[in-house]
Amino acid sequence: MERKRAKREGGADNGGADSGGADSHSRGRAVAEVKLDGAGCSGGGDGSLWAQCGHGQAKEPVVFRGAAVHWPSAFWSPTLLATHQAFGRCNVKALFHRANERPASEADCITRETTLKQFAQWILQGDRSTPPPPPPARDVDAACRGGRVADAVKSEPEPSESDSKHKKCANLDNAAFWFGTEGAVTRCHYDTYGCNLAVQLDGTKRWTMFPPGVARGMYPTRLPFEESTVRSSVDVEAPDASAHPDFVALAAHAAQWVELGPGDVLFVPHGWWHHVRCTSTAISTNLWISHPADKRALLSEAMTQYVVACVSEQQPTWFCPTQSPVTPSQALALLGAALDANGVHLQHDRDSGDITEALLRRRIAEALINPSVIQDVVDGVLR
């Protein structure tokens, strides 16, 4: 691990244009740091990483330097991924973007189905002018992302035994794996569910984060329909003050940033916006952990999906490429389930005698035609 830490310290300030945006660190402050000396999440007691995150309820990000140095996956490197047979069986969907671009979403990337091993070999061979060749046809069992043309890859491998320990004590619902070249960027967004522990395994990444309270300055937008991700319209590395004046006025000063190196673990609180740049070839994983606000988020996500299902025909070109569309009645059933999860059980309306589905449709229609909602929609359409 000494080798890995040396790499982090050597490369800490590379990569990322000093654009005058929030990512240039001209505003905001560094994330608070805690050093755990490899204690990990051991048991959730007071000194543990998890306790120091308020068991997921902490309201500010915190970075635990070196907390994952003893994870078995801490020795993962591009060379290991490029040579170990197991990674040749890990089928991934890689997303590629051009060097120096910061694509607004996955919809703006080139997609290739490949294996993690082949993707790692492609990264190591250094020629970024074309994406890796497609492997023989096979089922894709993980979603991925990447770029310059490729820059990042994300997949969902099984956690190792020790990572499962983390899973247990952190009540892990979901995990992802990220592998990208220097310059890979995940544009600013927040995840509607849970909170997040990001674990840097190799290389370095710069995270820039903004609190939920500055949402107006982040100009939220969504890709219809991409569950669980709300994107910012602002390119936080190069904000356009005339298009997004509230970002400069309300949000930029609230930025918190951190450069993660091998073994570092970052706690991202629920609802925090984050923009991530690989400052070297980098491998990381993250654990999404459930949060009490998730039940309510389930409802908002189901409602969003229903509205999108009602206004889209078949699968329009603007539909999120990584998500399967659902019909309005499927979406309505999911909405009913989300209501149930929130303890709202619509049976029938006493006055009209309407049964659940019809009543639900009526309530949604009544809520949507509220003049202030319609005004927001009209403003959005005219923008």
Contact residues: ligand AKG, CB under 6 A: 152, 178, 186, 191, 196, 198, 274, 276, 284, 286
User: What are the two backbone dihedrals, phi and then psi, of residue 280, each rounded to the nearest 5 degrees?
Assistant: -155, 175
Contacting residues for 16 by C-beta, under 8 A, at least 6 apart: 23, 24, 206, 237, 277, 279
**Residue 65 vs 275, nearer CB to ligand AKG:** 275
For 20-68, the DSSP string reads: SSGGGTSSSEEPEEEE-TT-TTGGG-TTSHHHHTGGGT-SS-EEEETTT
**Residue 198 vs 297, nearer CB to ligand AKG:** 198
- From residue 184, alpha-carbon distances to 96, 127, 154, 327 in Å are 9, 15, 11, 35
Sign for the CA dihedral angle at 190, 191, 197, 200 comes to negative
Are 359 and 348 in contact by the 8 Å Cβ rule? The answer is yes
In the complex, least distance from residue 249 CB atom to ligand AKG, rounded to whole angstroms: 26
* Stated length of the chain: 383
**Residue 66 vs 180, nearer CB to ligand AKG:** 180
In the complex, least distance from residue 177 CB atom to ligand AKG, rounded to whole angstroms: 10
**Residue 112 vs 277, nearer CB to ligand AKG:** 277
Cβ atoms within 10 Å of 279's Cβ, excluding its own? 22
The one-letter amino acid code at 199 reads V
For 178-239, the DSSP string reads: EEE-TT-EEEEEEESSSEEEEEEEES-EEEEEE-GGGHHHH-EE--TT-TTEEEESS-TTS-
> Which runs of consecutive H residues, i.e. helices, occur in 90-143?
116-125
**Residue 198 vs 339, nearer CB to ligand AKG:** 198
**Residue 283 vs 339, nearer CB to ligand AKG:** 283
In the complex, least distance from residue 271 CB atom to ligand AKG, rounded to whole angstroms: 12
**Residue 181 vs 325, nearer CB to ligand AKG:** 181
**What is the token pair recorded at 74?**
């801490």
In the complex, least distance from residue 3 CB atom to ligand AKG, rounded to whole angstroms: 22
Bond prior to 265 in cis (omega within 30° of 0): no
In the complex, least distance from residue 295 CB atom to ligand AKG, rounded to whole angstroms: 20
Residue with tokens 């190069």: 238
In the complex, least distance from residue 75 CB atom to ligand AKG, rounded to whole angstroms: 19
**Residue 17 vs 243, nearer CB to ligand AKG:** 17
Q: Which residue is nearest to ligand AKG (CB)?
A: 186
**Residue 73 vs 284, nearer CB to ligand AKG:** 284
In the complex, least distance from residue 323 CB atom to ligand AKG, rounded to whole angstroms: 16
Measure the CA–CA gap between 95 and 152, rounded to whole angstroms.
7
**Residue 225 vs 267, nearer CB to ligand AKG:** 267
For 286-311, the DSSP string reads: EEEE--TTHHHHHHHHHHHHHHHHHH
Are 17 and 238 in contact by the 8 Å Cβ rule? The answer is yes
In the complex, least distance from residue 48 CB atom to ligand AKG, rounded to whole angstroms: 21
**What is the token pair recorded at 139?**
């089922």
In the complex, least distance from residue 147 CB atom to ligand AKG, rounded to whole angstroms: 10
SS3 at position 118: helix
In the complex, least distance from residue 218 CB atom to ligand AKG, rounded to whole angstroms: 15
Measure the CA–CA gap between 144 and 314, rounded to whole angstroms.
25
